[in-house]
């Protein structure tokens, strides 16, 4: 292979995660799989293809560029929703390609109304309302003006949903705020109905909201991190298993990140390794060079802290993480050869390096670490 590392996605584990989600948070609601951020680093196109093979048909991305990237693998009967940014010139493209999108301010709505009459296709919109996140969303005080516009152009606009976004349902410290949001949301939905605005779906739940608060599930749940086998927070996981006899997570992480040994180097005691003087060999050492660095998503903050797996053993990073390479200490791992598999995230024999431990060393959130994995690393379904 030409690549210096690959990411493997476990189809069987992913199928298990989807089964769990259908049974728990989506037993009475439509399951919308959020694949923004290149499928949280797992590969949006690959995740969409596998999910469709497993019977899923509703997906969400953040912007029009992400929608364009996955459109070619979207099945004819599947749905694709843009939850965030769509620029005015992209509106006609969205209509022509049956791509649904959130309308989160009146300026965008007015641009939709200017564009829709020029297109033979209807604009399929989800009205995002402000409930307390204070980021995106239409102010309920503007509902009368909104209703007048929609009623005038109802032949060109199809209201697919009314929605909102929760401000931190992964932490109990935010529950007062989140529950207030839900009350505001219910009031907003009813307010729109009173003005003659009906939608096909009502939705508010993210992963944390869906797993922790049944009230958030409505007609559709927007599930991101859970589908990939990660919990939104440790608190969310502990709360879920606390009252259950089986304390094992029902979710399985589907990602494995692999590279290989590029070179071996014997380093005498007293010699420094790599740039600078951060690693001094206090005894004779044997180091392996791995062709992955911070340009590949292996954070520089893992210098002298990170770990990888070689021959089923943990090998610590020795010295500074370079742009394209790391050195790892394999002194106590016998038999290592050039070309041997190196696991950066995942399992090798009976040892594992989780994204959580990886992110602890690098002071990155799981979300941040995963989405920083470059798109040019091949994603392979296994």
- From CA 106, how far away is CA 247, in angstroms rounded? 47
Residue 292's pLDDT band, with cuts at 50, 70 and 90, is: very high
pLDDT digits (tens, 9 = 90+) for 251-281: 999 999 999 999 999 999 999 999 999 999 9
CA 241 to chain centre: 23
Question: What ranges do the domains of the chain cover?
Answer: 11-242, 255-353
Question: What pLDDT sits at residue 173?
Answer: 82
- From CA 115, how far away is CA 97, in angstroms rounded? 14
Rounded percentage of the chain residues whose pLDDT exceeds 90: 83
Query: What is the overall mean pLDDT for the chain?
Result: 93
- Alpha-carbon distances of 188 from 138, 154, 221, rounded to whole Å: 10, 20, 18
Contact between residue 307 and residue 351 where contact means Cβ atoms under 8 Å apart: no
11-242 and 255-353 in the same fold: no
Query: Out of 2.30.30.60, 3.40.190.10, 2.40.37.10, 3.40.50.150, which CATH number does the structure's domain 255-353 have?
Result: 2.40.37.10
Three-state DSSP class for 123?
strand
Q: Tell me the helices (H) and strands (E) count for the chain, helix number first.
A: 12, 18
Question: What pLDDT sits at residue 364?
Answer: 60
Annotated binding site: 135, 323
Backbone angles phi, psi at 159, to 5 degrees: -80, 100
Question: What pLDDT sits at residue 344?
Answer: 96
- Which residue from 102, 62, 106 is spatially nearest to 203, judged by alpha carbons? 102
Annotated binding site for substrate: 135, 323
Catalytic residue IDs? 36, 275
Residue 241's pLDDT band, with cuts at 50, 70 and 90, is: confident
User: What are the start-end ranges of the H helices in 231-285?
Assistant: 234-242
- Alpha-carbon distances of 20 from 34, 55, 124, 244, 320, rounded to whole Å: 16, 14, 30, 15, 41
pLDDT greater than 60 at residue 236? yes
pLDDT greater than 60 at residue 130? yes
- From CA 283, how far away is CA 318, in angstroms rounded? 13
Residue 357's pLDDT band, with cuts at 50, 70 and 90, is: low
What class has domain 11-242? alpha beta
CA 179 to chain centre: 24
- From CA 106, how far away is CA 110, in angstroms rounded? 6
Question: What pLDDT sits at residue 342?
Answer: 98
pLDDT digits (tens, 9 = 90+) for 198-214: 999 999 999 999 999 99
Residue 358's pLDDT band, with cuts at 50, 70 and 90, is: low
Q: Count other Cβ atoms within 10 Å, centred on residue 204.
A: 29
For strands 30-34 and 220-223, give the pairing. parallel
Q: Count other Cβ atoms within 10 Å, centred on residue 310.
A: 23
End-to-end CA distance of the chain: 17
pLDDT digits (tens, 9 = 90+) for 316-351: 999 999 999 999 999 999 999 999 999 999 999 999
In Å, the largest CA–CA distance within the chain is 80
**DSSP per-residue codes, 307-347:** EEEETTEEEEB-S---SS-EEEE-TTSTT--TT-EEEEEEE
- From CA 321, how far away is CA 255, in angstroms rounded? 22
């Amino acid at each position: 292979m030409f690549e210096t590392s690959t990411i493997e996605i476990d189809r069987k584990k992913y199928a298990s995660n989807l089964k769990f989600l259908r049974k728990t948070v989506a037993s009475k609601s439509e399951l919308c799989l959020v694949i923004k951020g290149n499928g949280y680093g797992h590969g949006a196109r690959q995740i969409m293809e596998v999910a469709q093979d497993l019977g899923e048909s509703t997906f969400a991305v953040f912007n029009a560029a992400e929608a364009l990237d996955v459109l070619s693998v979207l099945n004819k009967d599947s749905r694709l929703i843009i939850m965030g940014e769509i620029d005015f010139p992209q509106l006609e493209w969205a209509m022509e390609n049956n791509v649904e999108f959130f309308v989160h301010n009146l300026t965008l709505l007015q641009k939709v109304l200017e564009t829709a009459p020029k297109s033979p296709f209807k604009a399929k919109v989800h009205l995002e309302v402000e409930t307390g996140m204070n980021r995106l969303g239409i102010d309920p005080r503007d509902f009368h003006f909104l209703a007048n516009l929609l009623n005038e152009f109802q032949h060109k606009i199809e209201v697919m949903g009314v929605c909102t976004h929760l401000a931190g349902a992964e932490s109990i410290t935010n529950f007062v705020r989140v529950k207030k949001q839900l009350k505001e949301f219910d009031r907003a939905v009813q307010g729109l109905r009173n003005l003659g605005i009906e939608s096909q779906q009502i939705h508010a739940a993210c992963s944390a909201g869906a797993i922790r608060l049944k009230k958030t599930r409505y007609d559709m749940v927007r599930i991101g991190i859970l589908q990939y086998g990660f919990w939104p927070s440790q608190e969310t996981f502990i709360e879920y298993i606390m009252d259950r006899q089986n304390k094992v997570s029902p979710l399985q992480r589907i990602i494995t990140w692999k590279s290989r040994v590029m070179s071996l180097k014997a380093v005498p005691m007293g010699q420094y390794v790599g740039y600078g003087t951060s690693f001094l060999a206090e005894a004779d050492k044997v180091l392996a060079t791995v062709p992955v660095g911070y340009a590949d998503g292996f954070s520089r903050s893992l210098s002298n802290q990170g770990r990888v797996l070689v021959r089923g053993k943990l090998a610590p990073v020795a010295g500074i993480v370079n742009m394209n390479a790391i050195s790892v200490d394999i002194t106590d791992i016998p038999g290592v050869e050039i070309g041997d598999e190196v696991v950066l995230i995942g399992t090798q024999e009976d040892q594992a390096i989780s994204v959580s431990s990886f992110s602890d060393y690098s002071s990155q959130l799981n979300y941040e670490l995963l989405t920083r994995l470059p798109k040019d690393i091949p994603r392979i379904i296994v």
